[in-house]
Chain A
Amino acid sequence: MKKVTLLIGLLIAGFSLNAQGQAAYIKAMTKGLETMGTAQSEEDLIKAAGHFERIAVKVTDQWHPAYYAALNYINASFNAETLETKDTYTAKAQTFIDQALKLAPNDSEVIALEGFNYMAQLAADPNNRGQSMSPKAMMTFGKAVSINPNNPRAVALMAQMQFGTAQFFGSPTDQPCDNAKKTIPMFDAEKKGEGFAPTWGKSMAEQLIGQCNN
């Protein structure tokens, strides 16, 4: 009897400890997403990135913390002043993307994020990187879309790239605009606040649609 009790006790304790870890993880992630939701400035974004970075260091079997750490570094790169800082952020983002890719090598979200990082690197120095980075970004978005055609972020980011290219070459923007519009119902179908799957990007798509209507 004593043995059985001890065994059960240990099992429960083990489960509970895990549950405690789980609770702390959920709490930390939730807090991170809140911070991220209000982050505007470069400093705020880096803070949010730092928060996810800390989670990613401890929780190494989930790709979400690394994903969000990378996302915040990418966003920070758009706000950064100098090319050097931008490059530091995108390089940092890449390390987290690599970490996420190890856990989820064929996840459309992670691949789309990698494409977004290429886009950020391109945007940092378009004259010199345009030629080499834009096919790279397009290829990556294409891969993300082919894995999950209903990933609104992959479709919207790709539309963004296509729109920029079409605008530059003065060719019709119908196709990227149509693609951007298609993402709105996809975004709306996403359940917010459930789990940590990415749900960002609707405002980006709306902004693009706004440009299309001009």
Chain B
Amino acid sequence: MQHLWDIRSPKDNMKTRLIFIFAFLLAATLANAQITIKGVVKDQKGETLPGANVYLKDTFDGANSSLDGSFSFETEETGDQILVVSFVGFKTLEKAINVSGQEVVVDVTLQEIINKIDGVTISAGAYEASDIKKVTVLKPLDIVSTASAAGDIMGAINTLPGTATVGESGRLFVRGGEGYETKVFIDGMEVRNAFGATAPNVPTRGRFSPFLFKGTVFSTGAYSAEYGQALSSALVLNSNDLPTQTQGDISIMSVGGDLAHTKKWEKASISAKIQYTDLRPYQDLVRQNFDWQQAPKGMVGEIVFRQKLTTNGLLKVYANADISDFIIRQPNISRGGEKDTIGVDNTYYYLNATYKDILNDKWTFKGGVSATSNQVDLGFNQSRIDDIEKGYHGKATLTWDASERVSVNMGGEYFHKNFSRTIQDDTNFSIDFSEGIAATYIESDYFASNKFVFRTGLRFETNTLLNRSWISPRIGAAYKISEKGQFSLGYGKFTQSAQNEYSLVNRSLLPETATHYILNYQYINNDRVFRIEAYKKQYNNLVKFDDPNDFTRENYTNDGFGEANGVDFFWRDNRTFKNTDYWISYSYVDSERDYQNFNGVASPGFISKHNFSWVIKHFINPIRTQVGATYTYASSRPFHNLNLEGFHNDGTPDFHDLSLNAAVLIKQNIILYMSSSNVFGRDNIFGYEYADAPNQDGFYERQAIRQGAKRFIFVGLFITLTKDGQENQLRNL
């Protein structure tokens, strides 16, 4: 090097000389012999990994591994270097190597990252509809497009296994449980009275529009310690985040109409909606079995507010006001068929505010408050009873991503409830009670590998009315036996305070309890889902009484008990037939209990041993129409035939229903929707009411509990108007 310096450099021109040196050095580097670095990328099991990115740190030298996992690239770097290997789903590996000679051979093994979201999941009991998770049984849209649902979330959920068809109720009866055993949550917060107020044997609907929610978790048992006060089931509805655009919506329906407007800013949005329904015109047109003195009518107002407070922090506020009433005349078999007049006036308010934020890599916060106020004024002939239920719920949850393998969910919540009943007569007798429940919960998931996860949880509840506490354990586990198939199991103890009308009389009634055991196998393969689940459920402390008209404290005890054992089956296929999606649910349940005024252990009247539903949706491209059908079958339900010996000694006919629907996309922003339940007009019978006393021949007269009409037909036109959405964008061109 020295001689070059001497030859080329005029002594007085230092600058030129330096540049020269540099150019020379650069040239020298470029002229350096290239060294090949090669090897094979494998995972822990020794399988080769194609597509991994292999490179020398701080250089551009690298390559992707080929289909056989091998890589090879050339570099001019020498000496100690760091080889980086990165690949999705694996931990990035940095390996010190010495680059010298002609060729360096490095074989690397990557460690799999535990995938807590899309890997092994505890699926026992849970049906999830979500856009975010890849492994789901339902998509959010399914809720609106199921034929038998008629736009009701509960109707769509009722096509899933584990649920029973109880046509005169409309509520969710899960795995041998009664309607009240299912509890609804919006964004983790309690919703009281999620179903509209109704009269006996008049079916109700869920209050909330399916369009409010982006996802749903329907748990038929053994659900998380985060949720309590539900014996059978938790239905967790997750509301939409920020909307995409400012828009207006108009719906014109056969039963009413609504107007909505959404205004979106960059970090916030507000939506308001007003809905008016009146079934009168429809009922004048279509013959009804029920004798309506005044058809159900109602007004619903909704406000939805969203605000992004930090990068990941989202504040959600939802308010709902719902005022409805109807008057119905029902024949009374004990009075020779003379009709009772039953009027229901309902004023309902619900407020839900939640905030969720990712604090840092490890911690996520979720908290909120909800308030429900539900006033039902029930008129029965000349008498009137006013019930007011008020509920408040506050909750804070922290999720701690403790390590790669462990995540912990913990929090506390407080429920307050006040229930009052006023009998509107000369005395204006009024009675009320309050109950507070404080709960803390902690649950941790341990991922032993990407194949095995184990969950343990504890829920600790203190009831202020009873001044007592309960600990409810939860256990869950899942094991992946193959890429697509997994077993999971769930166990948990659940408590739920006695129903209002019982607690009102006897305030020392203990919570009812249920213990769930679930074993589940699930196989998901490219748009096909198969699930089979066996369960055992034991009920204890169920409220028991002798005479339903005896309002003395001693009449009500916790001596009831029961059990439900069954198997649920689910199959969904979105692949075999083009543009066609169908699912089949079948549930078998064997359930018996001794509760309320039962005189012995018997299968309750809401139980059908066999429940079957088949849902199909087919999209016809040329006419942009989705057609759907739902067939529902429920086997005979037991009832107490007073003319026969024994108890719950007779059965109703089987239930069959075929519902059809069609949704036509008339234009991008106009949808026409039509549906009809029970197209064949089958006269389904849900049970019988017997006269209090036998007639002259010693025979108890009876009347059947039937559907309100042969079928329910719905037609709706839904229009979306965007102003500064797409039209604006077209103008920009």
Contacts and interface: CB of A to CB of B under 8 A. Distances in A.
A155 B730 CA distance: 10
Contacts of B88: 88, 92
A68 to B, nearest CB: 13
B18 interface: yes
B55 A54 contact: yes
A140 to B, nearest CB: 10
A165 interface: yes
Given A84-B134, A171-B667, A128 B526 contact: no
B526 A82 contact: yes
Interface of A: 5, 8-9, 12-13, 16, 20, 24-25, 27-28, 43, 46-47, 50-51, 53-55, 57-58, 82-84, 87-88, 92, 127-129, 131-132, 135-136, 138-139, 141-142, 145-146, 149, 155, 158, 165, 168-171, 175, 179, 182
Interface string B23-62: 0001000000000000000000000001101010011101
B582 to A, nearest CB: 14
Contact of B60 (A13, A55, A92, A155): A55
A50 B62 contact: yes
Interface in B697-733: 722, 725-726, 728-730, 732-733
A12 B60 contact: no
Given A54-B55, A54-B62, A127 B619 contact: yes
Given A12-B15, A13-B18, A54-B55, 6 more contacts: A5-B14, A8-B15, A12-B22, A16-B19, A84-B134, A87-B134
7 contacts: A50-B53, A55-B60, A127-B581, A127-B619, A146-B732, A155-B733, A169-B668
Contacts of A16: 19, 22, 26
Contact of A58 (B26, B60, B244): B60
B716 to A, nearest CB: 17
A92 B728 CA distance: 31
Contacts of A149: 732-733
B134 A158 contact: no
Contacts of A139: 244-245, 725, 729
A24 B77 CA distance: 13
B626 to A, nearest CB: 9
B146 to A, nearest CB: 15
Contacts of B733: 145, 149, 155, 158, 179, 182
Contacts of A158: 729, 733
A148 B64 CA distance: 35
B108 to A, nearest CB: 15
Contacts of A51: 62, 64
4 closest residue pairs by CB, A with B: A142-B729, A50-B64, A28-B60, A50-B53
B58 A58 contact: yes
Contacts of B66: 43
Contacts of A58: 58-60
A20 B26 contact: yes
Contacts of A141: 729
A72 to B, nearest CB: 11
B668 A47 contact: no
Contacts of B139: 128
Contact of B624 (A20, A128, A169): A169
Given A50-B63, A128-B141, A136-B244, A142 B18 contact: no
A168 B624 contact: yes
B291 interface: no
Given A135-B245, A141-B729, A9 B18 contact: yes
Nearest to B65: A50
Contacts of A9: 14, 18
B286 interface: no
B264 to A, nearest CB: 10
B547 interface: no
Nearest to A83: B526
Contact of B141 (A47, A57, A84, A131): A131
B14 A43 contact: no
Contacts of B722: 135
Given A8-B15, A128-B141, A136-B244, A142 B64 contact: no
Contacts of A13: 18, 22
B705 to A, nearest CB: 39
B254 to A, nearest CB: 24
